[in-house]
Amino acid sequence: MKNARLYVGRMLILLAVLGLPIQAIAQSAPGGQNRNTAQPNIVMIVMDNFGYGEVGVYGGGELRGAPTPNIDGLAADGFHSTNFNVEAECTPSRAGLMTGRYGIRTRKTPEGEIRDVWYGITKWEITLAEMLSAAGYATGIFGKWHLGDTQGRFPVHQGFDEWYGLPRSTDRAFWPDSDSYVADAHPGAVFTRVMSAKRGEDPTEGEVLDRAKKALLDRELTDRAIDYIERKAASDQPFFAYVPLTQTHEPVDAHPDFKGSTRNGAFADVLAQTDAYVGDILGTLDRLELADNTIVIFTSDNGREGVPRSFGFTGPWRAGMFSPYEGSLRVPFIIRWPGQIPAGRSSNEIIHMVDLFPTLAAMAGGEIPDDRVLDGVDQSDFLFAKTDKSPRETVMIYIGNTLFGAKWRNWKILLREMDNDTYQIKEMAYPSVYNLIVDPKEEVPELNYLNDTWIDFPLYQVLEDHEASLADDPGAPGP
């Protein structure tokens, strides 16, 4: 510290003599990462099946049995969206996040075949990690991947320098504890194990993911993310820490340190746990004096679990994941970058998960590919409050490989509906149109033949433009 103060003192004298601006010292003083503000660090925390209404700033928190002061504080220091959209299932949402492309594109073959929704992404896709790595970033993932579990398709083959976490869905934690599990029933029916690897390596399999392990896992992921941040803090290299946590995907089991802590049940315990873990990461950035030069994002891949009687809360929105309704598609989104993104701002302008790829590319100095269709749009000017309008007006709605409808501004068209309890698809003679301002729960379709016939035109145009774009998309040239 003494040497650092002496260096700063000498630099101040030199700058005064030369007549240079004092802020130049911030880019040349010792201290590693903090001295260069050209490329921000990025910490992205992504929840699993986490509804819109869970945290305090979105109407949850104490209402849900557990205050969320750390996440709420993150929102107070940054921006939060009330209209952030994702896809209806885990894998396509994560595919959109990683590629800036709707999941349907990432599964398409050159022959026009659309692979199963759980396929993930091909090796050909350029991921967020690959884009940031090319821009000079160190990249680490600590958590659930769920975008490919075969040779060449793990995170360390898709742009990440290191990984500790899960390759597949966390509901497999039920299997080891099931009395009906038959080990040799099918070659694909094997226990999921926690995996780890460095860039280019084949992942090493660790402990079996059972319910006991899952209860401990988010603590481990948080600790490893913190260790990663600490290791990178002294470096001149900016870093991307991707932290896709495994709660609140069922089974929901709090860590022993939090089990019973709220006296409001398992989900409230996990909510308190999650807020504490977010606080641990934020505290690490503060302690290492990295907060001012770090973009922090908190969001989710989907709304609450779609299984009837499951945990989770979607706030004012209808239904949960696996559905075409807002409770499936609209989730929390909070982003903080001190001095760049104005604090305390919120908006109901539309943003989509696919927008994060081009937006972070713009913020980090990365390049986006020009040899494929990119669905994402750069939201940086909107987030910086240079404009109060999002550059996005539309959202496409898929469940599996079926196009269910689209959103345009505050309107939604559904070509088919779904029963909230049975999840049976209802084919209709005429699509439903909803005004999401007037009817946020999508309870009564507009009587458009009486007063809103005009809305058919922009909504159908959105669908037609997307389908034409998909038809022109050549698909991935490789597996």
Residue 451: its pLDDT value, please?
A: 67
374/368 Cα distance (integer angstroms): 9
Mean pLDDT within 72-95: 98
User: Is-cis flag, bond preceding 109, omega within 30?
Assistant: no
Owner of token pair 């000498």: 10
Tell me: cis bond preceding 170? Omega within 30 of 0 counts: no
pLDDT in tens, 319-354: 999 999 999 999 999 999 999 999 999 999 999 999
Identify the band that residue 37 occupies on the pLDDT scale cut at 50, 70 and 90.
low
Residue 212 has pLDDT above 50, yes or no: yes
pLDDT, average across residues 278-283: 98
May I ask the CATH architecture of the domain 395-472?
Answer: 2-Layer Sandwich (3.30)
- The C-alpha atoms of residue 30 and residue 7 are separated, in whole angstroms, by 8
102-141 pLDDT, tens digit each: 999 999 988 889 999 999 999 999 999 999 999 999 999 9
Would you state the pLDDT for residue 419?
A: 87
Judge whether 413 and 463 are in contact, CB under 8 Å: yes
- What does the alpha-carbon distance between residue 475 and residue 427 come to, in Å, rounded to a whole number? 29
User: Phi-psi region for residue 79, left (φ > 0), alpha (ψ -120 to 50) or beta?
Assistant: beta
| Position 19 pLDDT exceeds 70 | no
Is the pLDDT confidence value at 23 over 70? no
Name which of 25-29, 277-281, 383-387, 440-444 the model is least confident about: 25-29
Alpha helices in 330-454 (DSSP H): 356-364, 380-383
Alpha carbon distance 268, 311 (integer Å): 10
- Comparing 429 with 296, the larger pLDDT belongs to 296
Alpha carbons 409 and 393: distance in angstroms, whole number: 5
Q: Residue 51: pLDDT above 60? A: yes
Does the pLDDT at position 2 exceed 60?
Answer: no
Say which CATH architecture domain 39-392 belongs to.
Answer: 3-Layer(aba) Sandwich (3.40)
End-to-end Cα distance, the chain: 53
Residue 448's pLDDT is 62
Dihedral Cα 335, 337, 342, 348, nearest 10 deg = -20
The residues that are catalytic are 90, 146
Q: Which residue has the tokens 């100095």?
A: 365
What is the Cα–Cα distance from 324 to 57, expressed in whole angstroms? 24
Report which DSSP code applies to 387. -
- Among 17-31, 55-69, 86-100, 318-332, which is the least confidently predicted range? 17-31
Average pLDDT over residues 153-176: 96
- Tell me how many degrees the CA angle 311-313-316 measures, rounded to the nearest 5: 155
- Write the pLDDT tens digit of every residue in 247-271: 999 999 999 999 999 999 999 999 9
Distances (CA, A) of 445 to 211, 404, 419, 431, 439: 42, 15, 15, 9, 9
Kind and range of the H or E element at 163?
strand 162-166
- How many Cβ atoms sit within 10 Å of the Cβ of residue 235? 11
Q: What is the pLDDT of residues 177-202, one digit of tens each?
A: 999 999 888 888 889 999 999 998 89
Give the model's pLDDT for residue 38.
81
Q: What is the pLDDT of residue 14?
A: 39
Percent of the chain with pLDDT over 90: 81
Higher pLDDT, 306 or 385: 385
E strands, 217-329, are 239-244, 294-300
DSSP letter string, 326-344: HHHHEEEEEEE-TTTSPTT
Count of CB atoms within 10 A of residue 243's CB?
A: 28
Angle value at C-alpha 138, between 385 and 107, nearest 5 degrees = 75
Using the structure block, give the residue that is written with the tokens 């104490």: 62
CB within 8 Å of 409: residues ≥ 6 apart? 350, 393, 458
* Percent residues over pLDDT 70 in the chain: 91
Closest CA to 45 of 67, 78, 22: 78
Query: What is the C-alpha separation between 77 and 102, in angstroms, rounded?
Result: 30
CA-wise closest residue to 322 among 333, 332, 307: 307
Largest separation between any pair of C-alpha atoms in the chain: 79
DSSP 3-state assignment of 194? Answer: strand
Mean pLDDT of 272-284: 98
Mean pLDDT of 51-61: 98
Pair 405, 415: CB distance under 8 Å: yes
Bigger pLDDT: 446 vs 2: 446
- Mean pLDDT rounded to a whole number for the chain: 91
Q: Return the top range by mean pLDDT from 35-44, 109-118, 302-311.
A: 109-118
Query: What are the helix (H) ranges across 365-453?
Result: 380-383
